[in-house]
Amino acid sequence: MDLEAVRTYVAVAEAGQFQKAATDLAITQQAVSKRIAGLERDLGVRLFSRTPRGAEPTVDGQAFLPHARELLRAADRAAASVRPGSRPLRVDVINSRGAASRLMRAFHRAHPGVELDIVMLLDIESAVAALRSGAVDASFRAVAAPGIPLPEELTATRVVDEPLDLLTGPGHALAAARSVRLADLAGHRIWMPGILPGSEWGAYYAALAAEFGLTIESTGPNFGSDALLDTIADTPALATFMGEDTRLVWPATYGLRRVPVTDPVPVYPHSLLQHRDNPHPALPALHAHLAAAAAPAASGAWVPDWVPGWGADRVPGRAR
């Protein structure tokens, strides 16, 4: 199926005749005739019934028309997603299951009119480079991690702290616990595959392990969250950390247990990075939404939490 033929089809359906559609498209009537004939050959049905006064859609043509229009709109959106200048707001999130993804989905629900593209960059260096070049408009990251100075032209706004739960299999020693103190995790093996030592998560867990004497293993390649959960469910000696609000789609029979960690609650600090001069019109709306989403938590009871020493100030109003 050829998009130009589909575009020609819609033009004919709107014009009511091949001739006028041809002048609208600035081609000859014969070219229109050929395109429509080719489209009908591709689809295997007759789309127009030709009359001496023009052409009108057949039943198949009527059914095809809205799909054709939607197809052309999809093509326009696809082209717009990479058009320099006015393109959809492009936001980098740190992974597809974390708090940042959840916030962006909520933002999309609250502002359905804002065109949005979500990308996931590998590390903060490439995120910083993408922000400086303008390839992305905003990035959820943990800033001020050691060794990663924030360039002058970027700004960072602390937007949300993500509390972490412990995730264990049914055979784990803490599987039945209602909660566990962070200090009591000393000596337990925590497995976080795919966390690179130099990355932000790597720095976060390194600081956490150093302060509370945890054993965090990030060895081995990341085979995806399915493989991770599979291993956690089957290995009594292993546990892992997972965002408190992460919803798991997982068969209940595997018996994964989620154990809240307290005293203090380890929270991962998310900031929104952007270029100081980025003029994208949707950025203010995003900031307003994030501020509004963080504020209501202030009414809850506050619980002591832990962020790395380099984690700067806490987000206003966080509670649990």
Partner DNA sequence: TCGGACTTACAACCAATGGTTGTGGGTGGT
Partner DNA sequence: ACCACCCACAACCATTGGTTGTAAGTCCGA
Applying CB under 8 A, which residues contact a second copy? 1-3, 6, 43-45, 47, 58-60, 62-64, 66-68, 70-71, 74-75, 77-79, 81-84, 87-88, 90, 117, 119-121, 130, 135-136
Shortest gap between Cβ of 62 and a second copy (angstroms)? Answer: 4
Shortest gap between Cβ of 313 and a second copy (angstroms)? Answer: 30
> With respect to DNA, which residue has the nearer C-beta, 52 or 85?
52
Query: In the beta sheet, which residues pair with residue 264?
Result: none
φ, ψ for residue 308, nearest 5 deg: -60, 155
Q: d(Cα 179, Cα 165) in Å, to the nearest integer? A: 9
φ, ψ for residue 237, nearest 5 deg: -85, -5
157 binds DNA (CB under 7 A): no
Tell how strand 154-168 and strand 238-243 pair up: antiparallel
Q: d(Cα 186, Cα 189) in Å, to the nearest integer? A: 8
Q: Choosing among a second copy, DNA, none, which partner's interface includes residue 35 (Cβ < 5 to 8 Å by kind)?
A: DNA
DSSP 228-283: HHHHHHH-TTEEEEEETTPPP---GGG--EEEEEESSEEEEEEEEEEETT---TTH
Q: d(Cα 84, Cα 260) in Å, to the nearest integer? A: 45
4 binds DNA (CB under 7 A): yes
For residue 248, give the nearest of 179, 176, 165, 163 by alpha carbon. Answer: 165
Q: Choosing among a second copy, DNA, none, which partner's interface includes residue 196 (Cβ < 5 to 8 Å by kind)?
A: none
Tell how strand 189-191 and strand 54-57 pair up: unpaired
Q: Choosing among a second copy, DNA, none, which partner's interface includes residue 121 (Cβ < 5 to 8 Å by kind)?
A: a second copy
> With respect to DNA, which residue has the nearer C-beta, 30 or 222?
30
Q: Choosing among a second copy, DNA, none, which partner's interface includes residue 19 (Cβ < 5 to 8 Å by kind)?
A: DNA
> With respect to a second copy, which residue has the nearer C-beta, 92 or 161?
92
34 binds DNA (CB under 7 A): yes
Stretch that binds DNA, among 23-31, 80-88, 207-215, 254-262 (CB under 7 A): 23-31
> With respect to DNA, which residue has the nearer C-beta, 54 or 194?
54
Q: d(Cα 180, Cα 263) in Å, to the nearest integer? A: 8
> With respect to a second copy, which residue has the nearer C-beta, 90 or 102?
90
Q: d(Cα 266, Cα 255) in Å, to the nearest integer? A: 24
Q: How many CA atoms lie within 13 A of 212 on its CB side?
A: 26
Helix (H, G, I), strand (E, B) or coil at 207: helix
203 binds DNA (CB under 7 A): no
Shortest gap between Cβ of 79 and a second copy (angstroms)? Answer: 6
Among 18, 64, 204, 268, binds DNA (CB under 7 A): 18
Shortest gap between Cβ of 128 and a second copy (angstroms)? Answer: 13
Shortest gap between Cβ of 278 and a second copy (angstroms)? Answer: 15
Q: Kindly list the residues in this chain that would bind DNA in the complex (CB under 7 A).
A: 2, 4, 17-20, 27-31, 33-38, 50, 52-55
